[in-house]
Structure 1
Amino acid sequence: MLFRQLEYLVALSRERHFARAAQACFVSQPALSEAIRKLEEELDVPLVRRGRKYEGLTPEGERIVVWAQRILADRDALKDEVGALRTGLSGRMRIGSVPTASGAVSLLTGPFCAEHPLVTVEVIADLQSRDILRQLQNFEIDAGITYLPEDLAEHFHTLPLYEERYVLLITAVDALAHRTTATWAEASRLALCLLTDSMQGRRVLDEVFAEAGTRPSPRIETDSVGALFAHVRTGRWASVVPHAWLHVFGVPHGMRAVPLVEPARTVPVGLVVTAREPGSVMARALVEVARHTDVAAALERLPGDPAVP
């Protein structure tokens, strides 16, 4: 059995198409098909349901893919570990983030890259919470930044980073603009632009609105926090955004950010890695950086604040 055969099988499972899997592996389709056929012979089980076109993996194939992902992840972790012993940490680290927390990622990648100059970091910032956990389990990412539910499975390690809280983002001419606080009930009556209801960040908002005895009716929905700011800038919309994003954009000219109360809700956000040992050397290094980085304090400082170094 060769690592290459396992890579081909994982690619086929991911792409669900022989030609696309071959292209992703930089080989011809016949070469990929033949390698998987030989793997089936060696394991003595059918891995692929074949018809006139690709019809998916067999139940045996689905189980073997899990083992293949684990074996390949261990191979990569071994290479990273040996490389770190020789010349320091090098290679590529992959971080997945929910959109609402993606503005905080740079607070970790900055010091991480300064400490490990030979590492390249890839940030996937448009993932849903369940996608982050799935990709961690499938070894597609090394670490995730997401909401920390109380019932998170025991095969994950978590490190809290900050408490997400919410502000009402409105134009400076809005009646609520000069208030020190606004209620969720008042926010629900505005022309709102919110995240889509497929995102956990939006589901959190809906829970708080429900606790306040109301329900929002947004006219605009998006999967981008940046798009929320852009819509409010037009003067036609208001939005509810995580306070952490003010660290990225500040409070743009002509807008106001009013803290929301009744209730004053916060939700924990943190770093998540797999509990499997020895695990990814990249993930261990990122956790070490996160332990020494006060993300919560940094998010309280806005652009232009003289306290920012």
Structure 2
Amino acid sequence: MIDKLEMFIALARERHFGRAAEACRVTQPTLSSAIRQLEDQLGVQLVFRGSRFQGLTPEGARVLDWARRIVGDVRALRDEMRAVRSGLSGNLRIGVIPTAVPMVADLTAPFLERHPGVHVRILSRTSSEILSGIESLEFDAGITYLDNEPLGRVTQIPLYAESYRLVCTPDFPLPPGDSIGWDDVARLPLCLLTADMQNRRIVNQHLAGPGAPATPSVESNSPLALISHVMTGRWASILPKQLADLFAADGRLRATPIAQPEVEHQVGLIAPHREPHTPILAALIDAARRLAGD
């Protein structure tokens, strides 16, 4: 039954029988047969079928909620028994917003020093993808914004406050002073993250204060792509302080504080609101609280 529920969760996530089968490392006929067997066992139709996947039935949507809870609890049980038997080990999957990727080692390095038997997989994702990934059991935890858009019912541990810097070449023309206002920033040629990134939506909020939001001529979901354009001297970009300082460390770029006003947004660890957490996830939450305390 658990294997069938896991295949059903994968199908709901991938919305495609072939991709779901690949994710579960089974053949497509095996996955299709498992879904039909699950429907027979539960006595309801779970999936609308045609020439391709056409969505979940209302009964399928309700079963999906139960499946996620059941599979999550079974995984927690397996992890706890493995920890009792041989110490903390296994896999930990963390979704991280792109602007927080350079800081994730502040959490994972001390965690892995305490628990060397754990393998950590870090994937860069948007904030909405992290939330859906936690809900679908694709991620065990995420690092994302805590105070800008609704998160729903998740465990939250603040890690740091994100403030913002204008990143440009040293000879890029800026108004005089040690900082720059959002109104001045809005008038510059900018390259920014894409609109599906919550960082971009935050930037738009603050640029919209003094006037119309900036319309960048270059957009990317990769901070590295933005920096490559900034290095040409034709554009500036807006990045979190920690990321901006990293790129400006060698002196080829400068990072100017954006003030008037200077704003901050909380970034932190989120995890499923489930008790008890798996031993690995509980250890990660403990590491996050230690980091927040430091």
What TM-score, normalized by structure 2, do the two folds share? Answer: 0.92
Counterpart AA for 2:68: Q
Provide the residue aligned with 2:210 in structure 1. Answer: 212
Answer whether contact 2:9 2:64 (CA < 8 A) is retained.
Answer: yes
Distance 1:52 1:241 in 2: 46
The AA in structure 1 aligned to 2:91 is R
- Please name the residue that 2:120 is paired with: 121
CA distance in 2, matches of 1:180, 1:63: 56
Conservation of the 8 A alpha-carbon contact between 1:170 and 1:177: no
Partners in 2 of 1:96 and 1:114 — Cα distance?
A: 20
CA RMSD of aligned residues (A): 2.1
The equivalent position to 2:131 in structure 1, one of 130, 133, 146, is 133
How many pairs are equivalent?
294
2:267 aligns to what? 269
- Match of 2:193? 195
User: Map of 1:66-77 to 2, 5 A cutoff?
Assistant: 66-77=65-76
CA–CA distance in structure 1, aligned partners of residues 152 and 31 of structure 2: 37
Greater CA deviation, 51-60 or 116-125?
A: 51-60
Of stretches 46-55 and 225-234 in structure 1, the one that deviates more from structure 2 is 46-55
1:213 to 1:19, Cα distance in 2 relative to 1, 3 A:
closer
User: Which residue does the alignment assign to 2:44?
Assistant: 45
Alignment-derived partner of residue 147 in structure 1? 145
Structure 1 37/294 Cα, relative in aligned 2: closer, same or farther at 3 Å? Answer: closer
Which residues in structure 2 correspond to 1:34-113 (within 5 Å)? 34-113=33-112
Q: Using the alignment, how far apart are the partners of 1:11 and 1:235 within structure 2?
A: 46
SS in 2 for 1:108: helix
Instruction: Report 1:176-255 matches (<5 A).
Output: 176=174, 179-246=177-244, 248-255=246-253
The answer (yes or no) to whether the contact 1:158–1:272 under 8 Å persists in 2 is yes
**How far off its partner does 1:25 sit?**
2.3
Q: 1:206 to 1:131 in 2, by over 3 A?
A: same
1:252 to partner: Cα distance:
4.1
Whole-angstrom distance in 2 between the partners of 1:153 and 1:230: 32
Match of 2:19 in 1: 20
Q: Check conservation: 2:158, 2:292, Cα contact below 8 A.
A: no
Query: For residues 274 and 12 of structure 1, what CA distance do their matches in structure 2 show?
Result: 21
Q: Aligned residues: percent identity?
A: 44
Give the stretch that moved more between structures: 84-93 or 13-22: 13-22
- Name the TM-score, length of structure 1 as normaliser: 0.88
